[in-house]
Amino acid sequence: MSTGVEAPKVLFQTLGCRLNQAESDSMAEQLATRGAVAARADEPADVVVINTCTVTREATKASRSAIRRAVRNHPDAKVVVVGCYAVSDPDEIAAIEGVDLIVGNDEKERFAELLGEQASTAPLLQIGMRRGDPRPTEIAAGTRVRANLKAQTGCDEWCTFCIIPTTRGPLRTLDEDALIDEATRRVRAGAREVVLTGVHLGKYGYDQGGDEKDLLRLFERLLRIDGLWRLRLSSILSNHLTTEVIDFIAAEPRMCRYLHVPMQAGHDSVLAAMNRPYRIRGFVEAVEKAKARIDGLALATDIIVGFPGETEEQFGATLAMTQHVGFSKLHVFRYSERPDTAAARMLEDTPPEVKKDRSKRLIALGNRIRSEFLRRHLYVPLEVLVEDEREIDGVTVSSGQTDDYVRVWFEGGGMLGQMVEVIGERVRADGIAARLGDRGALYARGGVSV
């Protein structure tokens, strides 16, 4: 029962990868068990947590801007900075006036406990505990329908452009039983899709002497959770897209027909300079095998343009590979020097205007391919997991995603958390406009009790 004491309000701002989002959800739940509640972005907060990214120079700049904005917009709040930028440049963050606490990645798992030990934040959590009504899902309410599940962290690849092995450390697999317990709690709280996340998800179990069978076993155990309708992979490298993994996804209808497989470059010389653990022939063989076996598979990728030494011919190979594979979505990054990486010591011989031109050309190609991909969703039934509904000009509009990761909007309400059938009618810049199909709400597909 509440004591009438106002609960502390916490606002999370998350930059970067889906793994960061999964960790933000976990930290939010830790605070919720101590009585904290979510703050809206437009209202005063007692604590603002910025979960930062530093994977590129632009990401670092965005993290700094987010910190300064939080200090400016919430002058009475305690500002806590966590994440990769907090690990790589803590002194730089400490120099920003208004930052109260800096927390590294390894401390996220005991985040609430850590805040409870700090003189600046402990009184707020003590107030929350005195209320006596902790609400574990309130701060992370956005995870109600789709939940991010952190299965692995750390990396041992040491790609020359990447700081992640430094900021997140070596490969570490999270306890499998604990993952199943967490996923079960999320599903019981209303999640219908679980997104499996990690820095190097394909190496789940490798640090414990395992192989891809560990990841497949995790898939199987997660899919036994009653009420889980979809299981999605956040990202996996092509060399871990084995025949066994592909066949499992192809045979299991609750596995989403979407794979994010980073390519980074379409030429072996550039991949070698990046120290990527694959070459383009193996990459293409893996994704083509996946497309052949998984009906309707959507493939997304990351590509860096203007890496040190990249020639126009090598960039042309990236264009050709992009066209050949037909990625449904591209994430294009212009190379920027990241201090403390091997690539930062390479000769930077690609002028900014060349990077800009290559980025523009690749994005244009990606947009053409995506438009063709989206048009295949028109005038056919689509299964959509409804994640949001809101009033727009007096009309209730719901939205959600297909299993091949297309955002869909349609008129109608009261279906949050349901799987519905819609008919695609029009391509939008950010997805598909649709109408509710004749069958409306659908039942779960093949839920099995734990």
Residue with tokens 């990249």: 310
Q: Which domain holds residue 162?
A: 144-234
Q: Is residue 242 part of a domain?
A: no
Does 247 map to a domain? no
Averaged pLDDT for residues 8-15? 91
Residue 210 domain flag: yes
Tell me how far apart the alpha carbons of residues 370 and 327 are, in angstroms, rounded to a whole number. Answer: 7
Asked whether residue 20 falls in the same domain as residue 121, the answer is yes
Q: What is the mean pLDDT of the segment spanning 308-322?
A: 97
Per the model's pLDDT, the better-predicted residue between 117 and 4 turns out to be 117
Contact 268, 236 (CB under 8 A): no
Position 217 in a domain: yes
Q: Which of 46, 34, 27, 40 is nearest to 133 (CA)?
A: 34
286 shares its domain with 359: yes
Spatial contact of 265 and 311, defined as CB atoms under 8 Å apart? no
Same-domain pairing of 25 and 115: yes
pLDDT class of 429 with cuts at 50, 70, 90? confident
Q: Do 109 and 150 fall within a single domain?
A: no
pLDDT number for residue 364: 97
Look up the CATH number of the domain holding residue 215. Answer: 3.30.750.210
Question: Is residue 391 located within the same domain as residue 371?
Answer: no
Rounded to an integer, the average pLDDT of 409-416 is 93
Residue 64, in any domain of the structure: yes
Residue 150 buriedness (CB in 10 A; 0-12 / 13-18 / 19+): buried
Same domain, 366 and 285: yes
Is 405 found in the same domain as 308? no
- Which tens digits make up the pLDDT trace of 355-405? 999 999 999 999 999 999 999 999 999 999 999 999 989 999 999 999 999
The percentage of residues in the chain with a pLDDT greater than 70, rounded to a whole number, is 92
Sheet holding 258-260: strands in order across? Answer: 258-260, 298-305, 329-334
Band of residue 285 on the pLDDT scale cut at 50, 70, 90:
very high
Total tally of structural domains belonging to the chain: 4
- Final residue of a structural domain among 71, 106, 131: 131
Provide the pLDDT for residue 442: 63
Mean pLDDT across 327-337:
94
* Strand 419-428 to 381-392 pairing: antiparallel
In a domain, 164, yes or no: yes
For residue 115, give the nearest of 152, 77, 60, 84 by alpha carbon.
77
Residue 240 lies in a domain: no
- Domain for residue 431, yes or no? yes
Are residues 59 and 24 part of one domain? yes
- Regarding whether 280 and 328 lie in a shared domain, the answer is yes
